[in-house]
Amino acid sequence: MAKLTILRYPDPRLHTVAKPVTQVDERIRQLVDDMLETMYAADGVGLAATQVDVHERLIVIDTSDSRDDPHVLINPELVAKSA
């Protein structure tokens, strides 16, 4: 069962600008664990902290078929884009 509630469009909280993570501490580690559990329970491949009503720059992703290769992005930045 998912630990966190996933916000759904058109929830206005999804438009909140996320703040940078300033320190990776036990709270952030627990949030990552909870987000991964929530994402797997929802059969998702990615989840942003804002989607669980935590407005910090944190994303979890696992695109593996075996669901055993999670990636955590903390304060990600776009460095390039193309058309």
Percent of the chain scored above 90 by pLDDT? 96
Q: What is the pTM of this model?
A: 0.92
* Predicted local confidence at residue 83, as pLDDT: 87
Q: What is the DSSP string of the chain?
A: --SSPPP-TT-GGGGSPPBPP----HHHHHHHHHHHHHHHHTT-SEEEGGGGT--BSEEEE---TTS---EEEES--------
Name the residue ranges covered by the structural domains of the chain.
12-74
CATH level 3 topology of 12-74? Peptide Deformylase (3.90.45)
Percent of the chain with pLDDT over 70: 98
